[in-house]
Amino acid sequence: MMLDMLLPMNEKIVFGVRLKKARKTAKLTQSALAEQLGVGQNTISDWESGKYLPGDHHLHDLIKRFDIDVGSLEDMERLVWFAQPMTLAIL
């Protein structure tokens, strides 16, 4: 199970709104961004709508693609926390 399944919907929606704004500012369609990242257009749509968050690999690619400057260690830790899959130990 991915961690994003457990996050409040509003956190995922905020990420999606920011991603959509960055994509539109870069004058990219969802299809064009999807092609650059090697994912389907429906994946970009899911991220922008708040249905899912990207995994750590794609999050890193998005940060690089949009030249996002993470202003503080706290912000970076939060981004990493959002991107990590949840690991459950079965005892």
Question: Using one digit for the tens of pLDDT, what is the confidence trace for 29-81?
Answer: 999 999 999 999 999 999 999 888 888 788 888 888 887 665 544 455 555 55
Domains of the chain by residue range: 3-83
Q: Per-residue pLDDT averaged across 2-30, rounded?
A: 76
38: left (phi over 0), alpha (psi -120 to 50) or beta: left
Rounded Cα–Cα distance for residues 3 and 23 (Å): 24
Neighbours of 65 (CB within 10 A): 16
Q: What is the CATH T-level fold of the domain 3-83, as seen in this structure?
A: 434 Repressor (Amino-terminal Domain) (1.10.260)
- What pTM was computed for the model? 0.69
